[in-house]
């Protein structure tokens, strides 16, 4: 699941993790020196009906940080965000609502506290089409990188293929996009690139101008119909935060 964002003049984008355009290995996680495809790279988007649509990489935090010579280590490590522009002919087929949960109702601007609930939906093919494994309810464990990354734990963690998935807080506000898979002391947790900070960076240093999140057409609900109780159970966290491992694909 990806964030949908809109620019003035009705240009519409899908938000994803910048590392999805990476050209190096999964262990290359520093956006300031990792290999990446350039802005303008063609992107194939698989629609819900199974057809393929054409998009274009319009912004990448990795590309931008390398172009301006970013040196802040937290920004280099955790500013993992990109925008894929949708063909105008396909804009009518895009809906910003998160499957199952609805929303987003806006952008979370103050981060998430430890113990706060989070919600997401993953589309990775590694789930073999088992729809019940896609909705995810979890809990925030910690913040790292000066708030640029939120470490969260869900009973069905984000796996390769889920990168860029939107995460919402208990008010339905967008927290960030799925970026990393973490290891002990919080096994199989995920790191989220903070969306508010990512959008601010893009607006300040990119060339697209002000970017606005498109709110969902369906209201957010934390207790949707049809989600098994076992997937809605809040996991119990270890006492210590997770350490980041390679980026997801």
Which pLDDT belongs to residue 154?
A: 83
pLDDT of 176 above 60: yes
**With 0-12 CB in 10 A as exposed, 13-18 as middle and 19+ as buried, what is 80?**
buried
CB hemisphere CA count around 242 (13 angstroms): 25
Within 8 A by CB and 6+ apart from 129, the residues are none
Cα(128)–Cα(107) distance, integer angstroms: 31
More confident residue, 120 or 26: 120
Rounded to an integer, the average pLDDT of 9-20 is: 88
Cα–Cα distances in angstroms (integers) from residue 4 to residues 97, 182, 204, in the given order? 9, 26, 19
Cα(127)–Cα(92) distance, integer angstroms: 28
Query: pTM to 2 decimals?
Result: 0.86
What would the pLDDT profile of 117-141 be if each residue is shown by its tens digit?
999 988 777 665 667 668 888 899 8
Q: Contact at 8 Å (CB) between 184 and 62?
A: no
More confident residue, 35 or 131: 35
Which pLDDT belongs to residue 242?
A: 45
What angle do the packed helices 61-68 and 195-205 form, to 10 degrees?
50
Report CA 55 to chain centroid distance, whole Å.
Answer: 18
**With 0-12 CB in 10 A as exposed, 13-18 as middle and 19+ as buried, what is 56?**
middle
Q: Contact at 8 Å (CB) between 195 and 48?
A: no
Which pLDDT belongs to residue 243?
A: 45
What would the pLDDT profile of 75-89 be if each residue is shown by its tens digit?
999 999 999 999 999
Within 8 A by CB and 6+ apart from 182, the residues are 151, 188, 189, 190, 191, 242, 243, 244, 245
Domains, the chain: 4-93 (no CATH), 106-194+216-247 (2.40.10.10)
What would the pLDDT profile of 208-227 be if each residue is shown by its tens digit?
988 999 999 999 998 877 66
Q: What percent of the chain has pLDDT over 90?
A: 55
Neighbours of 95 (CB within 10 A): 13
pLDDT of 5 above 80: no
> What DSSP line would sit under 54-103, residue for residue?
EEEEEEEHHHHHHHHT---HHHHHH---EEEEEPGGGGGG---SPTTT--
Give the confidence band of 241 by pLDDT, cuts at 50, 70, 90.
very low
Which pLDDT belongs to residue 233?
A: 57
Report CA 54 to chain centroid distance, whole Å.
Answer: 20
């Amino acid at each position: 699941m990806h964030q949908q964002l809109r620019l003035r003049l009705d240009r519409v984008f899908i938000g994803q993790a910048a590392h999805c355009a990476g050209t190096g290995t999964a262990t290359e996680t520093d956006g300031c020196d990792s290999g990446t495809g350039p802005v303008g790279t063609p992107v194939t988007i698989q629609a819900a009906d199974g057809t393929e649509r054409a998009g274009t990489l319009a912004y990448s935090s990795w590309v931008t940080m390398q172009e301006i010579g970013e040196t802040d280590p937290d920004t280099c490590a955790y500013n993992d965000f990109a925008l894929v522009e949708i063909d105008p002919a396909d804009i009518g087929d895009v809906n910003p609502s998160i499957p199952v949960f609805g929303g987003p109702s806006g952008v979370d601007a103050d981060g998430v506290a430890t113990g706060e609930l989070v919600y997401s939906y993953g589309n990775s093919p590694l789930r073999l089409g088992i729809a019940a494994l896609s909705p995810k309810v979890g809990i925030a464990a910690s913040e790292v990188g000066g708030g640029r990354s939120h470490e969260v734990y869900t009973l069905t963690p984000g796996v390769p293929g889920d990168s860029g998935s939107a995460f919402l807080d208990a008010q339905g506000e967008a927290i960030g996009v799925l970026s990393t898979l973490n290891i002990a002391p919080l096994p199989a947790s995920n790191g989220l690139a903070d969306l508010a900070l990512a959008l601010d960076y893009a607006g300040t240093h990119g060339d697209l101008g002000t970017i606005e999140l498109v709110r969902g057409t369906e209201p957010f609900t934390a207790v949707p119909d049809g989600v098994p109780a076992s997937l809605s159970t809040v996991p119990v966290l270890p006492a210590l935060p997770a350490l980041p491992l390679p980026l997801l694909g």
